[in-house]
Amino acid sequence: MTPLLELSGVSKRFGGLDALSGIDLKVMPGQIYSVIGPNGAGKTTLFNMASCLLHPSAGQIRFGGQDITGKPAHLMPRLGMARTFQNLAVFKHETVIDNILTGMHTHLKTGILGAALFWGPTRKAEIAAREAAEEIVEFLEIETIRDVPVGTLSYGLQKRVELGRALAMRPRLLLLDEMVSGMNQEETEDIARFILDIREERGITVMMIEHDMGIVMDISDHVAVLNFGRKIADGTPQEVSAHPAVVAAYLGVAENAAGGQP
C-alpha cells in the first residue's frame, strides 16, 4: 500500500541550527499517527514542512504518492490536506457556522462572476456546502452554539470549531497540532472520541502532535518520537513507551525540570 504521507531524509536547518535531521517516516492510509517529543524537538517544524508552510533543506516529501517538496502551501487543501494550529486559528467575530463554511470554500470553485453567469449550479453548490457544514456542526455536537460568535466561546469549544473548519475542507489527511493542550479532562475525552470517529466514519487519516500522553497512548496506531531534531523511535504506543531512548529523552526532561543532571 502506498503511504498517504512519506518523508524521506528530510532535514531543516535554521541558520546554524539543525531543527530536523534526516527524518524518514510513513503515514499509512487510515492511521492515527502521533508525533511526540520534548519541547523544541522539531515537531512543529515537521508539520510545517509536511503542509509545505516550510520547505526542507534536504529530502523529499510525498503526499498520496505525489512529490510535494517545495510546492506552495495554498495547494495543500485542494490536494486533500487540512490542519489545525498550535495557536487558535479561527475568525473570532464570525459565528460557528460561518467559520465552518470558510473551510468549504476550498471546494466552491465559482466566484462572483460565476454566480452571475451560472446562478443555478452556483446556488446548488452553496446549498450543498451549507448542508455539509450543518452536518459537521451536528457531528461535533455544537448545534446549540451554531450562531454564536466564536470569540465568546470557551477555548475548548473554539478548538472544536477550528477542527470543524478543517473537516469542512474534506481532507484525506488531517494534521492536528496540540489539539488538547489547555483542555480539561472532559474536553480531552470528547476530542479523543471525535478523532476516532473522524477516522472510522469519515475515513480520514489523522496525524497529530501531542504532549498529552494519555490521548497518544489511548488512540494512536503509530507513534514517532523526536528528540533534538532526530527520530529516536517509531512504533506502536507500547513499543515506543518501552524504548530505552524514549525513556531517556523524557527522563532527561523531567530531571532538568527538577534541577537534576540529564
Ligand X SMILES: Nc1ncnc2c1ncn2[C@@H]1O[C@H](COP(=O)(O)OP(=O)(O)OP(=O)(O)O)[C@@H](O)[C@H]1O
Nearest distance, CB of residue 38 and ligand X, angstroms: 7
- Which of 10, 27, 32, 42 binds ligand X (CB under 6 A)? It is 42
Nearer to ligand X (CB atom), residue 41 or residue 167: 41
3-state secondary structure 234-257: EECHHHHHCCHHHHHHHHHHHHHH
Is residue 56 at the binding interface for ligand X, with CB under 6 A as the rule? Answer: no
| Amino acid in position 239 | E
Contact characters 103-142, ligand X, x per CB under 6 A: ----------------------------------------
Is residue 14 at the binding interface for ligand X, with CB under 6 A as the rule? Answer: yes
- Candidates 33-41, 56-64, 118-126, 152-160 — which segment interacts with ligand X by CB under 6 A? 33-41
Is residue 37 at the binding interface for ligand X, with CB under 6 A as the rule? Answer: yes
Nearest distance, CB of residue 56 and ligand X, angstroms: 13
Q: Please state the length of the chain.
A: 262
For residue 150 the three cell numbers come to 466564536
Max CA distance (Å), the chain: 70
Backbone dihedral region for residue 37 (phi beyond 0: left; psi -120 to 50: alpha; all else: beta): left
Nearest distance, CB of residue 63 and ligand X, angstroms: 20
Report the distance separating Cα 240 and Cα 243, nearest Å.
Answer: 5
- 8 A C-beta contact, residue 171 and residue 107: no
- Which of 1, 17, 113, 258 binds ligand X (CB under 6 A)? It is 17
For residue 78 the three cell numbers come to 485542494
- Which residues contribute to the site for ligand X (CB under 6 A)? 14, 17, 19, 37, 39-45
